[in-house]
Amino acid sequence: MTPGIKTAARYRFGIFEADASAGELRRKGIRVKLNAQPFQVLLLLLERPGDLLSREEIASALWPDGTFVDFDHGLNSAINRIREALGDTASNPRFVETLARRGYRFIAPVERLDMSPLLPAAQAPLAEEASPRATSILATPEDLPHVPHRVSKTLFLLLQIMYLGFYIGALANLAEINELLSALPYATALFDLLIVTAAILIPVRSFQFCAVVFKAPRARHQILRIWPALLLCDVLWSLAPFLLLHHIPFGLAIACTAILVYSPFAQRSLILMGAADTLPNS
């Protein structure tokens, strides 16, 4: 244990657990690689959840004799390693918040297992809301795996391209689709609905694509905000394979539709996994 750091045996926060005596960080019981120095910084933050730890306080705890000359680089690197291990980001923090030129703060509720829970006052409402979320069918960030940023980003962008292909393809083949829909009740209304939703969703998909590619500020928040409305449209467009019945078997259309019903939920999960975030930084 580094001099100057006094910790409890174990801390639990979300799906993570930090064992100070073993020097290990675990996620759902599975060990997460985190080197000794970043782990010590994490323990300092966990000891005082909700409190600002200045860079000077961290320096005096980790290097009390002042022998470490490249402190700024070392601390920045340690914070980045912590965020990578926790699947966190500086732009949309769930665990470690940066206060510019001042220091860092651990913002999630922390339970010290051999003592009473340590819940920062600012996070009390969050703790109270945890129970209803537990019954939700929608995934929370804690339920999702940690994947590299480029993976979640690439998959999200590919899904946007897929939907753009649906909309543009449908508008390019209106005569064929009109013929296909003509045998159905309310054929005219369905045909008009297809045109209107495609025309609206092309700019929406383009916005999401550009927001992620260019790392727009608050892109994650904005995409999650419009997701419920987009969900309804995505469920409607999950029937798009049936517009290709002149070209594919009926059974294949059913199979493709079943996959597409899950697509909006996959997009939401990818956003929560960091598709719209910038790469971790200090």
pLDDT tens digits along 231-247: 999 999 999 999 988 88
Contact by Cβ (8 Å): 280, 78? no
In terms of Cα–Cα distance, which of 20, 40, 31, 141 is closest to 81? 40
Cα–Cα distance measured from residue 166 to residue 143, given in angstroms and rounded to the nearest whole number: 31
Q: How many CB atoms lie within 10 A of CB 184?
A: 11
In angstroms, the CA 156 to CA 265 distance is 11
pLDDT given for residue 58 in this prediction: 85
Pairing outcome for strands 111-112 and 10-13 = antiparallel
Sequence ranges of the domains in the chain: 10-133, 147-272
pLDDT tens for residues 154-163? 999 999 999 9
Largest CA distance in the chain: 83
Give the pLDDT of residue 104. Answer: 93
Q: Do the beta carbons of residue 85 and residue 34 sit within 8 Å?
A: yes
For the chain, which ranges sit under pLDDT 70?
Answer: 1-9, 64-70, 114-136, 278-282
pLDDT at residue 235 in the model: 93
For 200, list phi and psi in degrees, rounded to 5.
Answer: -75, -40
Is the CATH code 1.10.10.10 the one for domain 10-133?
yes
Tens-digit pLDDT profile for residues 190-209 = 999 999 999 999 999 999 99
pLDDT at position 120: 53
Model pLDDT, residue 67 = 58
